[in-house]
Amino acid sequence: MKIYLYTNVFIDLIMLIVLIHFTGGIENPFIFLLTLHVILAGIGLSHKTTYFIATVALLLVGIMVALECTGLIPHINLEGFISPDQYKQTNYIIAILVALAVLLYSGAYLTTAISGELRKRQRQVVTLTQQILAEKEAELDVSAREIDKLEEEKKRFLSFLGMAAHDLKAPLAAIQGFLWLILTGYTGKITDKQRDMLDRSSRRINDLVNLISDLLDIPRIEAGQLVQEMKEISLGELVKHCADDFSTVAKEKGLDLNVEVPENIRKIKGSDVRLRQVITNLLSNALNYTLWGSVTIRLTETESEQRVEVMDTGIGIPPQELPRLFNDFFRGSNVSVKGTGLGLAISKRIIEAHGGKIWVESPCPETNKGSKFTFTIPSKSR
C-alpha cells in the first residue's frame, strides 16, 4: 500500500517536471504548482514523508535546470513571454530555486503542523469518547444492580404486606365469625339488647377490616402489583355485574338505577378485581349520597379508550372540595355516611395504574344535579 503511494507520488512529480520542461522549464511560473504536492502530502502522509517529497521536488527541479543549462536536454523557450537566455542566468535560477524551496518547505511545515494538530485532537476525542463510554458503562452497571436491589426490596415489601394483611385480619375474621354465630342463634337465644350490641360490634369489626384492607391496598397498588393481576376482561360485563349487585339497594331506597352498556364492547387488559373495586366504590357513593332521583352508569367506547360514567341526582359536592376529593382520608363536609375516606383515593390509584384517568364534575353537566364521576381505560392498555 505504502509502496503504491510512494510510486504514485514520484510518477506524479516526474510527470509534472517533464511537463514543466516542455513548457519552458524554469521559465514556467507553474513550477510553483509543485507546492500543491507537498500540501497534499502534508495532509495525508507523515511529517517525514512530506519533507522528503519537498526535497525530492526541489532536487528534480535542480536536475532539470542543470540538464538544461549544460545542454544535455534542450531548453524550450516561452516565446514572447520571457527572453530566450534567461534560463541560463544564475541570479534568475537561484531566485526561482530559493523561492521554490521556501514555498515547498513552508508548505510542508504549515500543512504538517496543521494536520498534526488535527490528528492530535482526533486522538484526544477518541480517547475521551472511550473514557466517557467506559464511565457510562460503569454507571449502567451500578444502575442495573440498584434496579435488582429495588426489585428485591419490592418483593420483600409486598410479601411483608401480605403477611401483615393476613395477621391483622385473621383475628378480626375469627371475632366476626363468632359474632355472627351468636347473632344467627347457633349458641342459643340472646336478648334484644345483646343483639343490638353484638350488631354494633360486628359493624365496627367490618369497618376495621375495610380500613385495614384499604390501607394495605395503597402500597400494593403503588408497588405495581396490579400488573400481575391484569388479563383480558370485558368492562361491559363488569359494569353490568356491579350494577346487578346494587339493584336491591337501589330498590330499597326507591332510586332508579340505569345501566347503559352498548353491545359488542371490545375487551381490555385490566385487573378484574380492582376495576370491580372502583366501579363498586363509585356506585356505592352515588347511591349513598342520593336521596331521591336516579343513578346512571354508562359505558362508552372510542378508538383509543373506554369510558365509564357514574351520574347521580344526589347532594353533589361543594365546589371548594372538588380539588381534594381524591386525596387520602378526605371526607366531604356534607356527608353523614361512614367511610374510610380512602375509597376514591384508591380508585384513582387503580385507574392510573391502568394508564387511565378519573375525574369528577359537580353538578353533573347533563342534569345540572348531583355529581358525575368519569374514568377512562385505554383500549390497548398494556
Partner 1 sequence: MAVKVLTIDDDPDILIALTLILESQGYEVITARDGLEGLGRVKLDVPNLIILDLMMPRMDGFAVCKELQKPEWVKYQHIPKLILTSIREDASRRRYELETGVTLEADSYIEKPIHPDVLLENVAKLLKGK
| Residue ranges that bind partner 1, judged by CB under 8 A | 162, 165-166, 169-170, 172-178, 180-181, 184, 186-187, 205, 209-210, 213, 220, 225, 228-229, 273-274
Which residues make Cβ contacts (< 8 Å) with residue 168, sequence separation at least 6? Answer: 212, 216
Q: Which is nearer to partner 1, 82 or 172 (CB)?
A: 172
- The total of other beta-carbon atoms located within 10 Å of residue 16's CB is 19
CA atoms within 13 A on the CB side of 50: 26
Q: Are 295 and 256 in contact (CB under 8 A)?
A: yes
Q: Reduce the DSSP state of residue 269 to 3 states and report it.
A: strand
Interior/surface letters 79-117, b for 16+ CB within 10 angstroms, e for the rest: eeebeeebbeeeebbeebbeebbebbbebbbebbeebee
Which element (helix H / strand E) includes 6? helix 2-22
Q: Are 82 and 27 in contact (CB under 8 A)?
A: yes
Q: Are strands 372-378 and 305-312 parallel, antiparallel or unpaired?
A: antiparallel
Q: How far is the CB of 161 from partner 1 (least distance, A)?
A: 9
Q: Which is nearer to partner 1, 164 or 322 (CB)?
A: 164
Distance between CA 26 and CA 37 in Å, rounded?
A: 18
Q: At residue 268, what are phi and psi to the nearest 5 degrees?
A: -125, 170
289: nearest Cα among 354, 217, 349, 369: 369
Distance between CA 338 and CA 329 in Å, rounded?
A: 12
Strand partners, 296: 258, 311
Q: How far is the CB of 285 from partner 1 (least distance, A)?
A: 18
For residues 216, 243, 322, 268, the Cα torsion angle rounded to the nearest 10 degrees is 70
Q: How far is the CB of 287 from partner 1 (least distance, A)?
A: 20
- The total of other beta-carbon atoms located within 10 Å of residue 135's CB is 10
Q: Which is nearer to partner 1, 274 or 298 (CB)?
A: 274
Strand partners, 376: 307, 357
Q: How far is the CB of 176 from partner 1 (least distance, A)?
A: 3
Strand partners, 300: 307
